Amino acid sequence: MKRRAYLILAVCTAAAWISLPAQADIYQYVDEQGVVHFTNVEGGRIRRTVKVHRELPNPKAASAKEPSAESKQVRPDTIPASYSESINTACEKYGVDPSLVHAIIKVESDFNPFAISSKGAMGLMQLMPQTATDLNVKNSFSPHENIEGGVRYLRYLLDRYEGNLKLTLAAYNSGESAVKRWGTVPPFKETQDYVRRILAIYRGQGKSSLAPRYTIYVGYNPDGSLLLTDNPSNHPEKTLHRKMERNL
């Protein structure tokens, strides 16, 4: 009888823990090669982790998770001042409309700098780990670094797709390879909804004039000769680096 009571107590305790609201605690650790990692799991095979963020339960989170993007544009006065400064600085640097970045961040993370997607995308502009590495973003949870990297990547995509905003947003969401495969916005519900929601906030028309700068990319041909181009999409198999920009 006593054993049965303990069993019932254990089951009830487990049920109580399961019913607790999920919390997005984030831990940071450095591996043997010196690479910084972020995880939502403490301990395990990792010897030492440092908690960098603890998110308290928010009863309104479920209803706020999927806001109606069509309802209204992002009001600048609702954006934290530190974010606005980083957004404006990065947009000025790379020649991107800040309103477009506001719309992307709204849909991507709803301005939560510690957001993590089920696929591992992180931060305000939801950078994938490999993308963050390519953009030299060392801490995707730093609003300034995340915005700098995200806007830089957005500028690259705008250049690649020659200002076509729909293709740019589709590539930002589903990847350049998916856009290349289909030759248009991929027929994925998530991607099509993503493009539609951002355009509804931004009030874009699918064709953007966001190309105020003339960007030159530099690489090398197989024979070692220097390659200069203003359209990286013509050379997808080559590693190209932005060399210079100037206003048109």
- Which residues are tagged catalytic? 108
HEC secondary structure over the chain: CHHHHHHHHHHHHHHHHHHCCCCCCEEEEECCCCCEEEECCCCCCCCCCEEEECCCCCCCHHHHCCCCCCCCCCCHHHCCHHHHHHHHHHHHHHCCCHHHHHHHHHHHHCCCCCCECCCCCECCCCECHHHHHHCCCCCCCCHHHHHHHHHHHHHHHHHHCCCCHHHHHHHHHHCHHHHHHHCCCCCCHHHHHHHHHHHHHHCCCCCCCCCCEEEEEEEECCCCCEEEECCHHHCCCCCCEEEEEEEC
Matching residue, tokens 């856009």: 179
What is the rounded distance in angstroms from the CA atom of residue 163 to the CA atom of residue 210? 6
